[in-house]
Amino acid sequence: MLNPADSDFLDGLAAQLPAGTLRSVEPRYLEEPRGTWKGQGAVVAAPASTEEVATIIRACAAARVGVLPYGGGTGLVGGQVCPDGQPAPLILSLERMTAIRAIHPQENVMLVEAGAILADVQARAEAEGRLFPLSLASEGSARIGGLLSTNAGGVNVLRYGNARDQVLGLEAVLPDGSTWHGLKRLRKDNTGYDLRHLLMGAEGTLGVITAAALKLAPRPAALGTALMVVPDPAAAVALLNLTRDRAGEGVSAFELISGQGLHFLAETMPQVRLPFADTPDWMVLVELGLPRGIDPAEELMALFEAALDQDLATDGIIAQSEAQRHDLWTLRETIPEANRLIGSISSHDVSIPISDIPDFLRRGNAMLAGMGDFRINAFGHLGDGNLHYNVFPAKGRSRSDYGNAKTEVQQAVHDLVHAMDGSVSAEHGIGRLKVADLERYGDPAKLAAMRAIKAALDPLGIMNPGAVLRAGA
């Protein structure tokens, strides 16, 4: 693969693009949130249109130059950085393609370009009395193209599904520079292979998403939020079932929070007000979005009383205002930042069959107790089976005290996840961090099909080389 810093290549590409499209590589393009890798790049291309994206990809294909698609840079598995060890790629940033091309409120559809920031898309939907329900902590900087390319999850998957479930059509540039004009607003289009779902979750390895037709939803007339103390994870799972039996599809989120997460907040972010004088071991954050005429606070109170009767809850807080609701969600959404400040030995984004989560936590905690002195913060999206199972140093120690424990801990946790028919990548993707995990745990038939698809669509291997599949594999 050629180095895109070659002057002949750059001069030829610049001649085909408007002035200012090619830029020097700033440090922000070479960083990722967890600091696991330092990236490299020879040049940044920031196109303003799909046609310009196609021009760039065609030139890179002709010269066999690697292309690293770049969205908001918020990914947690290294898919947006190319480390040393292979030629520095051209970094293709969609940051100038931010237009909301059209909105059709009566159809519950919005057409947006891939560089649009999620929070801006949410705000535009709200202005039309609609909801775009994809919601996650990085929504103020994450861009639609990257979110779809990684099939992002977030807190509303229980009700609305992952990112791929919120898309009707895509526009994308394929690795040969051709443009797929699939930006349709159709709910039914049964015309062969569905390229949408091939590109969503491919992390830029099969092409570049340039625009999407997003599904909108009616805004719930009223939201209700409660934080309930539960005796243990088994009670949390039973409470989830009770909540769904009572509220049906009105359950928007059901988050598991461990007491360890609140202890980390007290240790690192004392300005965050904790909800209980004595921190319980386990809690769930429940949110209901209900139609007009139903008071969610009353529904939550009735749920809490039923949970008390069944020994599924022992205490709780029901938000009585938007400010209180915001405070409860702030508690949940600042836990990852507290984790970062503590510094994990190993972090795991896993999914487990929901009814098996209590057993996974019991077995995982016992296994790690036999391996060393650790603190474990298990939290996340219980409603869809996605746990963030993160392992930290004992209090008063740092991760540097644990030598090579990260590799041993990660493999032990992932082996347990695999043995319990789970997934070692629930919502963050594979990127570069989990390429070896995919090879270790992936179904052989699936891996063979993935490699065949990659070879067919990207025979030169220029698209995000080394992400998802090992380069040259």
Structure tokens that stand for 473 in this block: 């594999």
Tell me if 416 sits within 8 A of 364, measured CB to CB: yes
- pTM as predicted: 0.93
Residues ≥6 apart with Cβ < 8 Å to 88: 3, 4, 5, 40, 41, 42, 66, 82
Average the pLDDT over 53-75 and give the result.
96
Which amino acid does the sequence have at 81? Answer: V
Would the pLDDT of 6 be above 80? Answer: no
Residues forming a β-bridge with 218: 130
Residue 32 has a pLDDT of 87
Average pLDDT, the chain: 95
Whether 437 has a pLDDT exceeding 90, the answer reads: yes
**Cβ neighbours of 52 (radius 10 Å):** 20
Assess whether pLDDT exceeds 60 at residue 2: no
What integer is the mean pLDDT of 207-228? 97
Q: At residue 359, does pLDDT exceed 90?
A: yes
Q: Are 467 and 430 in contact (CB under 8 A)?
A: yes
Cα dihedral 338/438/404/346 (nearest 10): 10
pLDDT over 90 percentage in the chain: 91
Fill in the amino acid letter for 366.
Answer: A
Three-class SS of 298-334? HHHHHHHHHHHHCCCCCEEEECCCHHHHHHHHHHHHH
Q: How far is CA 158 from CA 52, 253, 287, 315, 381, in A?
A: 38, 6, 11, 24, 8
Give pLDDT tens digits for 245-294. 999 999 999 999 999 999 999 999 999 989 999 999 999 999 999 999 89
Q: Is 224 helix (H, G, I), strand (E, B) or coil?
A: strand
> Does 5 have pLDDT greater than 80?
no
Could you tell me the pLDDT band of residue 84, with boundaries at 50, 70 and 90?
confident
pLDDT bucket at 295, cuts 50 / 70 / 90: very high
Question: pLDDT band at residue 37, thresholds of 50, 70 and 90?
Answer: confident
Q: How confident is the model at residue 140 (pLDDT cuts 50, 70, 90)?
A: very high
The DSSP annotation for 423-473 comes to BS-SSS--TTTTHHHHHHHS-HHHHHHHHHHHHHH-TT--BSTTSSS-TT-
Q: What mean pLDDT comes out for the span 219-228?
A: 96
Rounded Cα gap, residues 122 and 126, in angstroms: 6
Instruction: Look at residue 85 and tell me whether its pLDDT is greater than 80.
Output: no
Pairing of strands 208-215, 109-113: antiparallel
Q: Does domain 222-419 have CATH number 3.40.50.2000?
A: no
| Beta strands 315-318 and 349-351, pairing class | unpaired
**Contact between 301 and 320 (Cβ < 8 Å):** no
Q: How far apart are CA 454 and CA 467, in angstroms?
A: 11
Q: What region, left, alpha or beta, does residue 216 occupy, with left being phi > 0 and alpha being psi -120 to 50 degrees?
A: beta
* Cα 216 off chain centre by: 19
Mean pLDDT of all residues in 37-46: 91
Mean pLDDT, residues 35-51 taken together: 92
Domain 7-95 has CATH 3.20.20.70: no
Q: What is the mean pLDDT of residues 193-219?
A: 97
Is residue 23 predicted with pLDDT exceeding 70?
Answer: yes
Q: In which residue ranges of the chain is CATH 3.30.43.10 found?
A: 7-95
pLDDT, tens digit, 9 for 90 and up, residues 376-415: 999 999 999 999 999 999 999 998 999 889 999 999 999 9
- Range(s) for CATH 3.30.70.2190 in the chain? 222-419
The dihedral sign for the CA sequence 434, 436, 439, 441: negative
pLDDT at 94 over 90: yes
- Highest CATH level, class, for 100-218: alpha beta
Over the stretch 233-245, which tens digit does the pLDDT of each residue have?
Answer: 999 999 999 999 9
The full DSSP string for 34-45 is T-S-----SEEE
219 — pLDDT class (breaks 50, 70, 90): very high
pLDDT at 86 over 80: no
Rounded Cα gap, residues 153 and 151, in angstroms: 7
